[in-house]
Amino acid sequence: MRAATLEATQALVTSMETHTSANDWAELLSQWQAVGQQWSNWWSRDATSPMPAAPPSLEIGNAALAVLAPTGAWIDPAAAAELARRYNERVQALWQRAIAADKASPAAAGAQAAVPDRRFGGKEWREHPYFTWLRDAYLLYADYVRELAALAQGDPESRKRVRFLARQYADAIAPSNFLATNPEALKLAIESGGASIAQGLANLIGDAQRGRIAMTDESAFEVGGNLALSPGSVVFRNELIELIQYAPATAAVYKTPLLLVPPCINKYYILDLRPENSFVRHVVDAGHTTFMISWRNIPPELGHLTWDDYLEQGVLQAIGAAREISGSRTINALGFCVGGTLLACTLAVLAARREYPVASATFLTTMLDFADPGEIGVYVSREYLAAREPALLAGARVHGSELANAFASLRPNELVWNYVVSNYLKGRTPPPFDLLYWNSDSANLPGPMYAYFLRNMYLDNRLRDPRALTMCGEPIDVSRIAMPSYVYASREDHIVPWRSAYRTIELIGGDASFVLGASGHIAGVVNPPQKKKRHYWTNDLLTDDPDDWLARAQSHPGSWWPNWTEWLVEHAGTRRPAPTREGNARYRPLGPAPGMYVREKPA
């Protein structure tokens, strides 16, 4: 099916380059719509379904109810009827306004107020009564769908899935997403003589061949060329990780080194993008000897690796190497996202062994309590895992594109439909953006590791329970993580809800500080101080209620990075002359940073 769809699209692009008459364009528009249906079938047929289909349990009376049906929830018929009555009244009122506007002068019709929705920001949505009505009718129906979802009854998880699917459905059917109902795209097609449509189809072919929607101009970036530029050397390599030691930037460095544990579902250079926004550059310039784990993009022969392997071959190996190279008895460690979860598990294993090589721990947007994992939880059900677990445990890999698509779907208008409209309907190339390039540079995970993570954390939430899990042969208890900890969360994080990240301070031992930053999962973390953007909150009084903590917190302008580096200095020891080279006699440099593993692409 994919080959046939690509052939049909390529033929249509060729056709568009040679047809110029109005009749030709009418025929080509019809062909475009037909090819579009093929693409729709492709994506919907080949997409990995997060949940197996279940028998409908809602009475199907319209399209909105139909999209909610497979979730196992139900809606009170009387409440649904009352909502439908109110919706019909609003539709009638909208129709009357549309008729009145059509009879008004063109100037009056074009003077309608803009809608505070980026999808309909173009003046074309206000200048033509038909498109104004289409926009308003859609917004009215989208509100109806969301209100209908809010009426759903059932267990909390079913209600959450209803709301999620309702939002996905409402966002997908927006008139801005289709050529025939997007006046901005139609105007551009006319003005360009159809070139925008031809280019859009070419963009679609390119994205299909890559297996993902382009969010940035990927030709503008190269790892090791203009990304991940901090100088250093790979000082250790095994089948799972490379360990990078960065070259010092100061004459003297703190005695206690810093180990960075990035998320393993993406590449490490989110913490070392460009010099002006590099977290690595920030800490090295502050005088910290810094090590970075670079996770392997799992090839087929490593599909058997487990969660324990990520601890033993990953974090534990890196801690040992960093200590030996630096000559320091202890290190400071920072974990980001799932890297923070891996770090916490490693620290709990070490505590069970009565080993304490880590002086302080920093957890960035990390969950240890998965009671409320946010909307990503709609993709994780027992039925889903039961269907996939046999293959995962047998060594099937989880492809990075699958995870990237799941995360993008949590913000469909910003991370899916925005690019569908711009890339395909308008034929534009997205501008260069380093964060989005990194976001598209995903990594594969081994099946056993992934299955363990989903079942024991997301589904059963066992990490928070003392001795409920055994890792690396040790019953673990995260409350035995007794060193000072710095816990950071982002207020608009759609992947790790900040209130869930706040629960980390209740689970771990030792003195903890909690800091809340503005923005989301990535932009909140990557916020260099020189940009003077955003703000963050602090409050030394850690209460049981995160909202109470925030209500009493003090807001500070700018980046949280300086606040963290001030905290880190307290645990970094005295200064001493900076090393003259990376590694030592045992851990000899194997090559320059950024290393080999970060350049590997999913296969």
Catalytically active residues are: 337
Exposed/middle/buried for 28, CB within 10 Å: 0-12, 13-18, 19+? Answer: middle
159: left (phi over 0), alpha (psi -120 to 50) or beta: alpha
Exposed/middle/buried for 291, CB within 10 Å: 0-12, 13-18, 19+? Answer: buried
Exposed/middle/buried for 37, CB within 10 Å: 0-12, 13-18, 19+? Answer: exposed
Q: Which amino acid is at 82?
A: E
The 10 Å CB-count burial string (b at 16+, else e) for 226-242 is ebbbbebbbbbbeebbb
Distance CA 240, CA 595 (A): 13
230: left (phi over 0), alpha (psi -120 to 50) or beta: beta
Distance CA 568, CA 541 (A): 20
Residue pair 556/599 in contact (Cβ under 8 Å)? The answer is: no
Helix and strand totals (H; E) in the chain: 24, 15
Residues 6+ apart with CB under 8 A from 125: 115, 131, 132, 135, 183, 184
R_g of the chain computed on alpha carbons = 27
Residue pair 32/179 in contact (Cβ under 8 Å)? The answer is: yes
Distance CA 258, CA 332 (A): 5
Residue pair 568/360 in contact (Cβ under 8 Å)? The answer is: yes
Residues 6+ apart with CB under 8 A from 218: 437, 440
Tokens 């505590």 label which residue? 351
Which value, to the nearest 10 degrees, does the dihedral of the CA atoms of residues 369, 370, 373, 378 take? 180
Count of Cβ atoms closer than 10 Å to residue 122 Cβ: 18
Terminal Cα distance for the chain, rounded: 21
Residues 6+ apart with CB under 8 A from 126: 110, 111, 112, 113, 114, 132
Residue pair 454/380 in contact (Cβ under 8 Å)? The answer is: yes
Residues written for the chain: 603
